């Protein structure tokens, strides 16, 4: 009984063999060693396990840190739907998902992205969620190899999106120019030459615009003004505002004050519309809905504005607040109308 645990008051049930204390016979020790050696030799001599492929790509610095974009980008989802969408379409990236436009957009106005987006939709791109209402599950279902978005939109769900695909964060009107973001995305996706070409084409068109409309640019005070039920605002960093500044437009009093105020610009109540913009010879009226536009046209204050009385008004909406080369080209088209000889 030396190889059994001592008996205790619980009885025979506790007489458990202490196997670990018993030495194995020599023949068993030899056999076990041989089997272990055979297994080791078989593992080392067999076909080695395939190595896990390492992801390769281009690493770029973004406002949210470094991101490695795959060498082959086969599918792209954009999240914000203006600058990111414009850049993706302009570079010919394989778009598979995008957000729907804001409800405030007026479908009666021509969209700067309408035609290229229709072409992408014909190739399989689909709306995934409403703008500003990110649906991570819908993005995952689209299986993108790259996600592009304005940094502020993706930062709250960055970890969830990074589990789906690399997230290439770009800026916005107060943090970077569309040209800078276009070149960043071009470099990351192997389309840097195309990105630079688009930048060069825009610069050439700006130069041509300056030459064509030199006299009118020098003598016409202009305001790009957003107007709604709660009043008006002049934002100097919105895309149409920056294009006006690129072409050398003469700012009205309100536009100059907004530029001096900084990125947030200035705001005024509805009753200040005439007083604030009475010196403007021309207006870019940023009015989102058809209902708001009709109400504005019926307003006595609007009707008294010199620019309105002279017919020097073009209208756009929030689709032109942000964008890339396509939206910038659309902005120049609008300004061609505004500065065209009467």
- DSSP calls for 258-290: HHHH-TT-EEE-GGGHHHHHTT-SEEEEE--SH
Q: What CA–CA distance (Å, rounded) separates 342 from 335?
A: 14
Same domain, 38 and 72: no
Same domain, 64 and 193: yes
Asked if the model's pLDDT at residue 215 lies above 50, the reply is yes
Q: Residues near 195 by Cβ (< 8 Å), separated by ≥ 6?
A: 91, 182, 183, 185, 186, 187
Same domain, 199 and 219: no
pLDDT of residue 103: 56
Which percentage of the chain shows pLDDT scores above 90?
A: 76
The position carrying tokens 């050696």 is 37
Same domain, 195 and 241: no
Q: Among positive and negative, which fits the CA dihedral 185, 84, 76, 333?
A: negative
pLDDT of residue 196: 98
Residue 300's CATH number: 3.40.50.1980
**Which tens digits make up the pLDDT trace of 285-331?**
999 999 999 999 999 999 999 999 999 999 999 889 999 999 999 99
What number is the average pLDDT over the span 151-160? 95
Asked if the model's pLDDT at residue 13 lies above 80, the reply is no
Same domain, 161 and 234: no
**Which tens digits make up the pLDDT trace of 159-206?**
999 999 999 999 988 899 999 999 999 999 999 999 999 999 999 999
Strands of the chain, DSSP E:
57-62, 65-70, 76-78, 95-100, 126-130, 146-150, 167-170, 221-228, 231-234, 250-251, 266-268, 282-286, 313-316
pLDDT of residue 51: 43
- Categorize the per-residue pLDDT at 109 as very low, low, confident or very high, splitting at 50, 70 and 90: confident
Integer-rounded Cα radius of gyration of the chain: 33
265 domain-assigned: yes
pLDDT of residue 132: 83
**Which tens digits make up the pLDDT trace of 223-238?**
999 999 899 999 999 9
Q: What CA–CA distance (Å, rounded) separates 226 from 212?
A: 27
52 domain-assigned: no
- Categorize the per-residue pLDDT at 55 as very low, low, confident or very high, splitting at 50, 70 and 90: low
- Phi first, then psi, for residue 20 (nearest 5°) are -65, -20
pLDDT of residue 105: 62
Cβ atoms within 10 A of the Cβ of 190, count? 16
Same domain, 235 and 321: yes
Same domain, 183 and 119: yes
- Distance of alpha carbon 162 from its chain centroid, rounded? 15
pLDDT of residue 104: 54
- Residue ending a domain, among 141, 171, 203, is 203
Q: Which domain holds residue 130?
A: 58-203
Same domain, 97 and 192: yes
Same domain, 195 and 268: no
- Categorize the per-residue pLDDT at 248 as very low, low, confident or very high, splitting at 50, 70 and 90: very high
Same domain, 172 and 225: no
Domain count of the fold of the chain? 3
pLDDT of residue 252: 98
């Amino acid at each position: 009984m030396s190889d059994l645990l001592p008996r205790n008051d619980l009885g025979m049930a506790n007489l458990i063999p202490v196997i670990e204390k018993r030495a194995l016979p020599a023949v068993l020790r030899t056999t076990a060693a041989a089997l272990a050696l055979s297994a080791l030799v078989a593992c080392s001599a067999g076909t080695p396990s395939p190595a896990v492929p390492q992801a390769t790509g281009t690493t770029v610095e973004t406002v949210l840190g470094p991101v490695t974009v795959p060498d082959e980008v086969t599918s792209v989802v954009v999240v914000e739907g203006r600058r990111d969408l414009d850049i993706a379409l302009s570079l010919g990236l394989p778009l598979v998902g995008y957000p729907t436009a804001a409800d405030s957009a007026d479908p009666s106005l021509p969209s700067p992205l309408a035609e290229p987006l229709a072409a992408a939709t014909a190739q399989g791109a689909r709306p995934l969620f409403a703008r500003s209402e990110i649906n991570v599950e819908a993005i995952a279902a689209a299986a993108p190899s790259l996600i592009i978005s304005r940094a502020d939109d993706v930062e709250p769900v960055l970890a969830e999106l990074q589990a789906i695909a690399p997230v290439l964060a770009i800026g916005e009107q107060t943090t970077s120019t569309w040209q800078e973001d276009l070149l960043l995305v071009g470099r990351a996706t192997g389309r840097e030459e195309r990105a630079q070409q688009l930048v060069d084409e825009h610069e050439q068109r700006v130069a041509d615009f300056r030459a064509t409309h030199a006299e009118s640019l020098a003598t016409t005070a202009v305001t790009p003004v957003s107007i709604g039920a709660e009043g008006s605002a002049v934002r100097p960093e919105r895309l149409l505002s920056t294009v006006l500044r690129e072409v050398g437009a003469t700012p009205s009093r309100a536009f100059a004050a907004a530029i001096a105020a900084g990125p947030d610009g200035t705001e005024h109540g509805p009753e200040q519309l005439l007083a604030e913009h009475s010196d403007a010879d021309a207006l870019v009226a940023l009015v989102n809905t058809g209902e708001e536009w009709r109400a504005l046209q019926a307003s006595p204050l609007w009707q008294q504005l010199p620019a309105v009385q002279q017919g020097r008004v073009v209208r756009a909406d929030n689709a032109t607040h942000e964008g890339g080369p396509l939206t910038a080209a659309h902005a120049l088209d609008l300004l061609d109308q505004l500065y065209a000889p009467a």
